[in-house]
């Protein structure tokens, strides 16, 4: 799965009831109703758990695309790593085995290195900065980098959340707590670099292998957004959540360039419109869920701890993290980032 992903609780908005209400139909890849003849039959895959809001919204989008196209474009939906792991799915969308893929920015950066600009550690202060950047100069830069890798980005970014650190043995409050700490990170160089700079021992593991890695103590902890922590049931194998907000990660829908180009302009416009709508609705879903998940996860045994974010940022500056990544990304990328975040030490 993609980094990141079921929960119910008494009081507030339960995750299950919320997603049931959000989704017009069940999340399934195979329809039981008779299919109309389609001029174009494409696949949309995701690596996110079934209970992730992005899947509910993309499922709805595929239906609207079929309806708005008068049945000319059928998009078969394959969520939850049905067609392979993140790295498998990237290979398939680049080769044309699938036509569309929802993928975390941190993961697509393995083939489009510039996409990792959104993952600079402790860069974004809040969601106001996030969306001003993702819908503005930072998003424009990331799209250009993904296009250089031979793919297209036909929609706005969705929300893969600010990420928090979880642990089985101790809370992570300061950089010193990470010294020698074995932490799982996505398959992304900037994540590895971030935690190495903080003195930890990061290990890249695909999300669909994460629960087992935590259960067997291959790693001591991990980092993800609350939606992913909940959907992946990581509360069963972790004890503490440190509210670090250390990285914000987007979801991007990427398309095979040749497949998208085969669509008439009118169908391209329908795809862009409906995927944009799905992204905007998913952002609202995640905002509502983040308002209730802390209470729900606490009820399931997770202990939330505050973290000294400024200490982490100072530690990264002293380790040369920002200097090194500014050099790697180059002036264009760093200027786009700092135009939103302000100067990074």
Domain boundaries, the chain: 15-159+250-289, 164-246+301-341
Q: What is the pLDDT of residue 93?
A: 98
Q: Compute the C-alpha angle 69/73/74, nearest 5°.
A: 125
| Spatial distance between the Cα atoms of 47 and 102, rounded to a whole number of angstroms | 7
Spatial CA neighbour of 66 closest among 46, 93, 40? 40
Q: What is the pLDDT of residue 199?
A: 97
Please give the structure tokens belonging to residue 239: 């004890």
Spatial CA neighbour of 80 closest among 249, 297, 232, 248? 232
Spatial CA neighbour of 79 closest among 156, 115, 37, 26? 26
Q: Which stretches of the chain drop beneath a pLDDT of 50?
A: 1-14, 18, 20-21, 23-34
**Concatenated DSSP letters of 282-321:** HHHHHHHHHHHHHHHHHHTT-EEEE--HHHHHHHHHHTTH
| Spatial distance between the Cα atoms of 270 and 62, rounded to a whole number of angstroms | 10
**Concatenated DSSP letters of 178-221:** GTT-EEEE-S-HHHHHHHHHTT-EEEE--GGGHHHHHHTTSSSE
Kindly state the DSSP code that residue 119 receives in the 8-state scheme. G
**How much is the pTM?**
0.86
- Residue 198 and residue 316 in contact, taking contact as beta carbons nearer than 8 Å: yes
User: What's CA 105's distance to the chain center, in Å?
Assistant: 6
Kindly state the DSSP code that residue 85 receives in the 8-state scheme. -
CATH architecture group of domain 164-246+301-341:
3-Layer(aba) Sandwich (3.40)
| Spatial distance between the Cα atoms of 132 and 124, rounded to a whole number of angstroms | 11
CATH topology for 15-159+250-289 is D-Maltodextrin-Binding Protein; domain 2 (3.40.190)
- Residue 138 and residue 200 in contact, taking contact as beta carbons nearer than 8 Å: no
- Domains 15-159+250-289 and 164-246+301-341 agree in fold: yes
Spatial CA neighbour of 290 closest among 336, 222, 231? 231
Q: What is the pLDDT of residue 8?
A: 31
| Spatial distance between the Cα atoms of 184 and 169, rounded to a whole number of angstroms | 15
């Amino acid at each position: 799965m993609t980094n990141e992903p079921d929960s119910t609780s008494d009081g507030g908005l339960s995750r299950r009831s919320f997603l049931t209400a959000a989704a017009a139909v069940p999340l399934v890849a195979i329809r039981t109703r008779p299919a109309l003849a389609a001029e174009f039959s494409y696949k949309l895959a995701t690596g996110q758990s079934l209970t992730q809001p992005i899947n509910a919204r993309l499922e709805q989008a595929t239906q609207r695309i079929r309806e708005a196209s008068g049945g000319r474009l059928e998009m078969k939906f394959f969520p939850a790593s049905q067609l392979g792991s993140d790295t498998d799915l990237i290979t398939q969308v680049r080769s044309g085995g699938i036509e569309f893929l929802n993928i975390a920015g941190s993961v697509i950066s393995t083939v489009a290195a510039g996409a990792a600009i959104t993952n600079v550690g402790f860069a974004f202060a809040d969601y106001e900065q996030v969306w001003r950047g993702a819908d503005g100069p930072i998003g424009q830069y990331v799209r250009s980098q993904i296009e250089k890798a031979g793919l297209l980005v036909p929609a706005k970014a969705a929300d893969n959340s600010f990420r928090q650190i979880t642990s089985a043995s101790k809370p992570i409050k300061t950089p010193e707590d990470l010294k020698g700490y074995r932490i799982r990170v996505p398959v992304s160089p900037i994540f590895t670099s971030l935690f190495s700079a903080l003195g930890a021992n990061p290990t890249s593991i695909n999300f669909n292998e994460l629960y087992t890695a935590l259960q067997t103590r291959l790693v001591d902890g991990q980092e993800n957004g609350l939606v992913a922590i909940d959907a992946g049931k990581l509360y069963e194998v972790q004890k503490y959540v440190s509210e670090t907000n250390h990285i914000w990660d987007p979801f991007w829908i990427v398309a095979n360039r040749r497949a998208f180009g085969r669509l008439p302009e009118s169908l391209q416009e329908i795809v862009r419109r409906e995927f944009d709508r799905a992204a905007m609705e998913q952002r609202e879903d995640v905002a509502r869920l983040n308002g209730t998940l802390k209470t729900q996860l606490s009820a399931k045994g997770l202990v939330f701890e505050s973290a000294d974010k400024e200490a982490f940022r100072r530690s990264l500056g002293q380790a040369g993290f920002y200097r090194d990544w500014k050099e790697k990304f180059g002036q264009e990328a760093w200027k786009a980032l700092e135009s939103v975040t302000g100067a990074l030490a």
